[in-house]
Amino acid sequence: MHELLRTVPAGAVTTYGDLAGALGARSVARQVGYALAALPEGTDVPWHRVVDGRGLVTRPGSANAKRQCKLLRSEGVTVGRDGRVAEFASRRYALVWRA
């Protein structure tokens, strides 16, 4: 999963469902979120590029969401005060599993 997520370029986002689907199990999107939340501080996995299917960051208003927004903004992604990625459809990156 981590290698697949590293293919998402800076300035783009994907969703938990897209990531789970690319892994062959779209029904485990929630578990993908849990796995990303368990990553240690300072990881090189670009977890911040994963949002929900509506383009919202992780639990808007939380400390983690603030960090996620900051990281996305540093890559040129506009995130509204409501935690939604601006121009979500055009920023959404299509993941393809490469076995």
Q: Which amino acid is at 3?
A: E
- Asked if 14 contacts 50 with a C-beta cutoff of 8 angstroms, the reply is yes
**What average pLDDT is seen over the chain?**
91
What percent of the chain has pLDDT above 70?
97
State how far the Cα of 80 lies from the Cα of 32, in Å rounded to an integer: 24
Q: Residue 61 has what pLDDT? A: 72
Task: Indicate the pLDDT class of residue 98, thresholds 50, 70 and 90.
Answer: low
What percent of the chain has pLDDT above 90?
78
The pTM (predicted TM-score) of the whole model is: 0.91
**Ordered structural domains, the chain, with CATH:** 2-91 (1.10.10.10)
Torsion over CA: 8, 13, 16, 18 (sign): negative
Integer angstrom CA distances of residue 24 from 5, 9, 99: 14, 21, 11
For residue range 61-89, what is the model confidence (pLDDT) as tens digits? 778 889 999 999 999 999 999 999 999 99
Task: Indicate the range of 28-32, 35-39, 94-98 predicted with least confidence.
Answer: 94-98
Residue 99 has pLDDT above 60, yes or no: no
